[in-house]
């Protein structure tokens, strides 16, 4: 992520695909295949040829095929190279090319195996490296490379740079995969190793002196060792390498991609042994974790480290890792309440080293104005926050700089390894509160690439770690410089980094940002590596570590264009969950790119409590859309199972996969646990803010709170795991900000004390991502009736905890297989005359659950249950919500009566 808006960039890109494709949603965008009309020319700044293995160069030259599929192009094709660079096009010819590797056209193009490995190159012409020139390959890869095509008269027809990811893997990956990288400590010595196969020279700058490094010819790894006294010393690699982005040989002083510690603001890596007892907090070695919760039962709180405590006046370490050790703070008291109710994991937004926050408090800007003095609908707050945003202490953190070092701005001192100790104390604090820890990891892109100051990977092996498009430019579909985990050593970095967090920091789970940009094989390699960790050998049980991620399908890799992706559909049955946007959109209504944010859904009053937005259509259109939404929610309640069979709202017998979600199957899971349910997360408006836009203006705050609980219940009471944005149970608002990644503490901070409000009415949200919605937002923010009071906030939080307790104690919500779900779960009124818009009735084993999203009490007559005794579940009957206690059941008629805006759970017997 860059400070200039990862989320906005993704939003803009996906908005172009279709209004129905939500940011945190996932319809497919066409993959970028080989261009129909190849751009063959004489531009050496591009790299349109690809050297895919030691024998083959693929190049979309545009030559017509012969009957045998080969090139009908008399003349010659070759690779020109120059170790020092200097190859240029001068007029109509090439100059500076003193060395050549001859190429011969391959009839029929790439082999079938090559097309399978490189599907995006399947239409390219293939050229075979002359066996007589193979001894030149390794030297050629260390300098400027140009693919050259000449006519039969010797005239230059085409020339372009060459992408080398494929051949680097072919030549070096088999040995490099097995070679230790980064810091090492053994037999009284310290060592460092870096993979830099194309470098002409690498030296180690450590502790103020320069040490030569040795190159291993098989692996391309450079290494150096020294005395144990190197420990604690700052270091960088000095890499002399050809850099295509600037078309010259450069000498880069760059930090270690495998760094485990850093100096302030990531200026230097630090040679640190994470096994050093001095870095272990008291009790670290014998840390007792809460019992592991299987992924299919996980209830997850998504939490930003700074948001958690920066506004908590009871915290001793506001905004820091150590805030999670403040046992008596309001924030930690709240987390313990959630843990006792059934929350099992805290998911931390990115906590690795990020590139957009000054790490020293003295270097962090703060808004230079009295933010609290302005009106709740003023644009002054956002303007003042925006002036400080580039240099303040806030960012979500989706802008990775070093993947395996804790972020320094959350530490009491960013200089040195204190951040390691304090991260570990944070894990201890959460574990002691009864919660396991999930890290949000972002391996799909880097904060920078090329020769930029904050580029690390690309300044060591230029053009390898980043994913390149057909012309050699870096892909940016994730918003920033995409990485290429399909390449062996980037894939290895992902695995090694995750394993380090698991072993050395005892992290209990990982959430992969934009996981669909990873190969499925890469995520499964992570799973395999974690499964191999044992308590005896590694201090952790890797099989109990949970994995889930964003399985969205878009960009240059969409529809498996380059590899089988880790998307929703592809990850089904693997044990790695993906976020499901299906029920989320149906519950909230519309999508994040709606011009009019008043588009309603199941929990925001569509048809049953209409607002004034014309975007909702006629009453008939609203009713039809609401019933379709209810089908999406039903599929969500099953755990998004593809094969689950039920009667939909139209009376048809369908499977989950038959239900349409913006042109994709609503059901895609193979078993409960494949899909992760949620109603809100850090992306897009908070649930409270979405409901503020969508519910009729006059809806009282108390009713808004009830709709919040009902909306969350569609996730809580579904099969499979569920995630909630921290504070959602407290009706958290970000003053209608849909993209608060850089909106500072003013818009983001959590308020654990209800007397501080819920964050609503703190001014118009930042203009960059929200200004088109200001005309809708301004009257809402100015209306004091929309700001909830303590009774509303406390009531919602208590009702939510009741539902957590109910889910945690009722085995019916933890069915292990699709077959069990099919047998135990049904929707008895679906597709019958008794199905009412705005009401869903689910029968689940000994339970009946009724979701009444309407503003009126509703009765549900279930003919098949006549004569069977049911009563309100004891957890709700003895619970905090006085309204749900009036829910009733008539045994004689099989009628369930549920109050307005209420979810009620009944138990048989």
20, pLDDT greater than 60: no
29, pLDDT greater than 50: no
CA nearest neighbour of 110 among 53, 179, 157: 53
Tokens 């390691």 appear where? 420
* Dihedral over alpha carbons 486, 204, 453, 366 (to 10 degrees): 110
Average of pLDDT values for 195-216?
Answer: 97
Q: Which residues contact 729 (CB under 8 A, 6 or more apart)?
A: 338, 712, 796, 797, 800, 801
CA nearest neighbour of 865 among 835, 829, 817, 837: 829
Average of pLDDT values for 319-331?
Answer: 98
Q: How confident is the model at residue 91 (pLDDT cuts 50, 70, 90)?
A: confident
Task: Give dist(CA 278, CA 670) in Å, integer.
Answer: 46
- pLDDT confidence of residue 74: 66
Catalytic position from the list 550, 680, 685, 737 = 550
73, pLDDT greater than 90: no
Is 216 one of the catalytic residues?
A: no
Number of Cβ within 10 Å of residue 867's Cβ equals 9
With H, G, I as helix, E, B as strand and everything else as coil, classify residue 60: coil
DSSP 684: S
Cβ burial, residue 786 (10 Å; 0-12/13-18/19+): buried
- For the segment 379-418, what is each residue's pLDDT rounded down to a tens digit? 999 999 999 999 999 999 999 999 999 999 999 999 999 9
* DSSP-assigned letters across all residues of 828-856: TTTTSTT--TTEEEEEETTEEEEEE-SSS
Structure tokens at 522: 């890469």
Structure tokens at 287: 């840390």
Give me the helix-helix angle, 330-341 and 790-809, nearest 10°: 40
4, pLDDT greater than 90: no
Q: How confident is the model at residue 62 (pLDDT cuts 50, 70, 90)?
A: confident
CA nearest neighbour of 408 among 400, 417, 399: 417
- pLDDT confidence of residue 10: 41
98, pLDDT greater than 90: no
Structure tokens at 789: 């009071």
Rg, the chain, Cα only: 29
Number of Cβ within 10 Å of residue 248's Cβ equals 13
Q: How confident is the model at residue 189 (pLDDT cuts 50, 70, 90)?
A: very high
Catalytic position from the list 330, 377, 432, 513 = 513
Q: Identify how many contiguous H helices and E strands the chain contains and give both numbers.
A: 23, 42
Task: Give dist(CA 187, CA 492) in Å, integer.
Answer: 26
33, pLDDT greater than 60: no
Show the DSSP H helices in 695-841 as ranges: 701-716, 744-748, 767-770, 774-781, 790-809, 818-824
Task: Give dist(CA 171, CA 217) in Å, integer.
Answer: 10
DSSP bridge partners of 653: 647
Instruction: Say what percent of the chain tops pLDDT 90.
Output: 93
Q: How confident is the model at residue 34 (pLDDT cuts 50, 70, 90)?
A: very low
Tokens 């390959």 appear where? 137
Task: Give dist(CA 376, CA 450) in Å, integer.
Answer: 44
Is 550 one of the catalytic residues?
A: yes
Tokens 């905890």 appear where? 801
Strand order, beta sheet including 895-898: 858-861, 895-898, 888-890
- For the segment 740-767, what is each residue's pLDDT rounded down to a tens digit? 999 999 999 999 999 999 999 999 999 9
- pLDDT confidence of residue 275: 97
**Residue 22 contacts residue 552 (beta carbons within 8 Å):** no
Task: Give dist(CA 759, CA 621) in Å, integer.
Answer: 35
Q: How confident is the prediction for the chain on average, in pLDDT?
A: 94
- pLDDT confidence of residue 23: 30
- For the segment 108-156, what is each residue's pLDDT rounded down to a tens digit? 999 999 999 999 999 999 999 999 999 999 999 999 999 999 999 999 9
Element (H, E) at 409: none
* Dihedral over alpha carbons 502, 503, 504, 505 (to 10 degrees): 30
- pLDDT confidence of residue 896: 98
Average of pLDDT values for 726-741?
Answer: 98
**Residue 419 contacts residue 427 (beta carbons within 8 Å):** no
Cβ burial, residue 333 (10 Å; 0-12/13-18/19+): middle
Number of Cβ within 10 Å of residue 779's Cβ equals 11
Structure tokens at 768: 């960059």
- pLDDT confidence of residue 592: 82
Task: Give dist(CA 455, CA 266) in Å, integer.
Answer: 11
- pLDDT confidence of residue 6: 44
């Amino acid at each position: 992520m860059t400070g200039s808006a990862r989320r906005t960039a993704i939003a803009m890109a996906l908005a172009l695909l279709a209004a129905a494709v939500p940011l945190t949603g996932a319809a497919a965008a066409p993959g970028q295949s080989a261009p129909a009309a190849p751009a063959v020319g004489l531009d050496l700044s591009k790299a349109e040829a690809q050297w895919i293995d030691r024998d083959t160069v693929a190049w979309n030259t545009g030559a017509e095929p012969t009957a045998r599929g080969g090139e009908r192009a008399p003349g010659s094709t070759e690779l020109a190279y120059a170790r020092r660079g200097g190859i240029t096009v001068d007029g109509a010819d090439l100059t500076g090319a003193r060395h050549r590797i001859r190429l011969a056209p391959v009839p029929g193009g790439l082999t079938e195996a090559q097309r399978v490995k490189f599907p995006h190159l399947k239409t390219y012409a293939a050229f075979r490296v002359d066996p007589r020139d193979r001894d030149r390959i390794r030297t050629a890869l260390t300098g400027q490379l140009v693919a050259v095509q000449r006519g039969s008269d010797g005239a230059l027809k085409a020339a372009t740079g060459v992408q080398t990811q494929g051949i680097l893997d072919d030549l070096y990956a088999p040995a490099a995969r097995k070679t230790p990288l980064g810091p090492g400590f053994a037999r009284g010595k310290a060592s460092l190793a870096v993979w830099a196969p194309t470098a002409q020279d690498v030296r180690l700058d450590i502790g103020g002196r320069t040490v030569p490094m040795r190159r291993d010819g098989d692996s391309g790894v450079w290494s150096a060792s020294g005395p144990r006294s190197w420990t604690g010393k700052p270091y960088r690699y000095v890499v002399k390498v050809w850099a295509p982005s600037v078309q010259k040989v450069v000498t880069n002083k760059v930090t270690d991609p495998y760094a485990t510690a850093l100096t302030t603001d990531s200026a230097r890596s630090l040679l640190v042994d994470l096994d050093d007892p001095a870095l272990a907090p008291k009790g670290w070695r014998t840390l007792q974790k809460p019992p592991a919760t299987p992924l299919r039962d996980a209830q997850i709180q998504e939490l930003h480290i700074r948001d958690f405590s920066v506004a908590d006046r009871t915290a001793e370490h506001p905004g820091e890792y150590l805030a999670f050790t403040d046992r008596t703070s309001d924030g930690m008291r709240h987390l313990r309440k959630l843990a006792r109710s059934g929350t099992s994991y805290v998911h931390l937004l990115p906590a690795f080293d990020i590139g957009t926050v000054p790490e020293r408090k003295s270097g962090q800007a703060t808004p230079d104005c009295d933010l609290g003095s302005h009106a709740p609908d003023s644009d002054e707050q956002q303007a003042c926050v925006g002036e400080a945003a580039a240099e303040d202490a806030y960012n979500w953190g989706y802008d990775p700089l070093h993947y395996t070092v804790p972020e320094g701005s959350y530490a009491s001192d960013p200089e040195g390894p204190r951040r390691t100790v304090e991260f570990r104390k944070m894990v201890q604090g959460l574990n002691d509160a009864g919660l396991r820890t999930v890290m949000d990891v972002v391996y799909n892109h880097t904060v920078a690439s090329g020769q930029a100051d904050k580029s690390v990977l690309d300044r060591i092996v230029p053009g390898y770690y980043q994913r390149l498009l057909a012309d050699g430019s870096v892909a940016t579909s994730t918003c920033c410089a995409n990485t290429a985990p399909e390449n062996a050593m980037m894939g290895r970095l992902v695995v090694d980094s995750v394993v380090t967090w698991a072993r050395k920091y005892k992290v209990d789970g990982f959430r992969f940002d934009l996981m669909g940009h990873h190969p499925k094989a890469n995520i499964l390699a992570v799973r395999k590596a974690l499964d191999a960790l044992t308590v005896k050998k590694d201090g952790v049980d890797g099989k109990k570590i949970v994995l889930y991620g964003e399985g969205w399908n878009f960009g240059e890799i969409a529809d498996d264009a380059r590899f089988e992706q880790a998307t929703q559909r592809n990850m089904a049955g693997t044990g790695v969950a993906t976020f499901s946007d299906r029920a989320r959109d149906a519950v909230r209504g519309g999508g994040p790119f709606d011009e009019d944010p008043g588009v309603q859904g199941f929990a925001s009053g569509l048809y049953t409590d209409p607002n004034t937005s014309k975007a909702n259509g006629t009453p008939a259109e609203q009713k039809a859309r609401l019933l379709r939404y209810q089908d999406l929610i039903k599929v969500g309640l099953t755990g998004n199972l593809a094969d689950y069979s039920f009667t939909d709202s139209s009376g048809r017998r369908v499977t989950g996969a038959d239900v349409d979600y913006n042109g994709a199957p609503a059901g895609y899971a193979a078993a409960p646990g494949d899909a992760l349910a949620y109603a809100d997360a850090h992306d897009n408006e908070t649930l409270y803010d979405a409901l503020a836009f969508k519910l009729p203006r006059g809806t009282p705050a108390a009713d808004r709170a009830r709709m919040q609980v009902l909306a969350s219940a569609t996730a809580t009471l579904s099969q499979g795991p569920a995630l909630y944005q921290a504070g959602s149970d407290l009706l958290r608002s970000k003053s209608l900000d849909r993209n608060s990644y850089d909106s500072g503490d003013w818009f983001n901070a959590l308020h654990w004390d209800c007397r501080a409000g819920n964050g609503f009415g703190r001014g118009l949200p930042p203009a960059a991502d929200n200004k088109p919605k200001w005309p809708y937002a301004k009257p809402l923010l100015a209306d004091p009736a929309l700001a909830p009071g303590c009774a509303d906030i406390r009531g919602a939080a208590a009702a939510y905890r009741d539902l957590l307790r109910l889910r945690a104690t009722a085995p019916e919500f933890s069915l292990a297989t699709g077959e069990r779900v099919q047998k135990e779960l049904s929707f008895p009124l679906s597709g019958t005359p008794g199905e009412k818009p705005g009401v869903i009735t689910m029968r689940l084993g000994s339970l009946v659950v009724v979701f009444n999203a309407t503003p009126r009490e509703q009765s549900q007559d279930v003919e098949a249950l006549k004569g069977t005794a049911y009563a309100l579940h004891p957890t709700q009957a003895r619970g905090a919500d006085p309204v749900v206690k009036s829910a009733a059941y008539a045994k004689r008629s099989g009628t369930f009566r549920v109050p307005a805006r209420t979810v009620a759970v009944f138990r048989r017997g």
